[in-house]
Structures are given as structure tokens and as C-alpha cells.
Chain A
């Protein structure tokens, strides 16, 4: 299974963009990269996923490196409701969530 490395914590000012990095250097060629977030006292929820190309949806954008060894989740304008723990999961590592990145949004 692919191993991931994410910063333990990050801070952002409200209304500013946030770039959450993830290294997954052992990812296999068929693994999708999924991102989830967990709001306080809730279960994780799906954010976005991709394989090779950058992806956009209403919640976020996902930028995937050309060699696929890293990816970045982009929140274009952070809001207080985006304060959560963000998990990056290559689907070869589909069972294991790790500890993720705790995002603090400063008003």
C-alpha cells in the first residue's frame, strides 16, 4: 500500500486560499488519490479525487504532480467551516487514513 506524508497542522486566514500538500511517493499507476475531511465530532466526508489530471468540484481543486508522487488540495477561499482534518488517501492505501492535516482557519 502507498504511504502518505502530510503536515500535521496548517493555518490559514479566512477568505484566503489554502494549499494542503500530500506526498505519496510509492503510489502505483492505477491508484486514485482521494481526499476526505473530518469536521469536529463528525465522520469523514468525501472532498475530491483524481487519477492524473487536475480536478475541480464545488468544494475544492486537486492538483496532481506529473509524476503522481504528490498532490495538493486547494481550497480557493477558506471559510471558518473549512476548519477540519484533511486526509489524503491513495486507493492502494484504501484502508488506512493516517492522521491527516489539521486545518485552522483564522477569522
Chain B
């Protein structure tokens, strides 16, 4: 059981470039989330999904897109990278139900220069 796997772990992008952050979970969790964490700050929700084919915006969705074609995968797409998107990105998943907590991935550290 690998849990939540994020790739890559580190990436440097130039302004205007695009990339996809990958997130996969093998726990058959319905709910998946993308957060970003700026230095010294808390986590901010970017997008979330409650099941395959269903996605919704969080607090800070601008500049990002997501898709959820399978239960296992929830990629985050950055179009036209900007320095403000320099951050650590965390993917998380959980089972449906208020009693269940999150399992987080180890994060992707992204720098836009």
C-alpha cells in the first residue's frame, strides 16, 4: 500500500511554462484534494474532487486546472506559470464520511523563475 504518491518531488519552471503535477492513491478513496503551502503559511485548498468525473474549486483555484478521470488519479495542471505559484503542493485523499481523515502525499516543491 503506497498511500498517496506525488511526482515530481522538485521542479523549476520558467515563467510562462506549463506543467502537470501528478497525484495517485491506491486506497480507493473517493475524495481527493490539492493544497498549496507558501513558506511559513498554512495550507490553502486549490481544487478538490468527490469522485471520478467530479471536481470543484477551493480557495485559490486561479491559474490551475484539474481532472479526475479515474478514482486513483488527480493531476493538477499549471498553465502559464507565474512566480506567485512558487510553493509546495500537497495532494491528499480520504474516504467519504465525516469520521475519516486525510492521507497526504509528500509534496512537490515548485519554483517559478
Residues of chain A at the chain B interface (Cβ within 8 Å): 30-32, 34, 36, 42-46, 49, 51, 85, 87, 91-92, 94-100
Contacts and interface: CB of A to CB of B under 8 A. Distances in A.
Contact of A49 (B41, B92, B99, B107): B99
Contacts of B48: 95
Interface residues of B, number: 20
A44 B41 contact: no
Contacts of B104: 43-45
Which of B35, B43, B99 has the most CB atoms of chain A within a 10 A radius of its CB? B43
A43 B42 contact: no
Contacts, number: 47
Contacts of A44: 43, 90, 92, 102, 104
A96 B102 CA distance: 12
A43 B106 contact: yes
Nearest to B41: A99
Contacts of A100: 42
Contacts of B43: 44, 97
B102 A46 contact: yes
A44 B106 CA distance: 9
Contacts of A94: 98
Given A32-B99, A46-B101, A95 B58 contact: yes
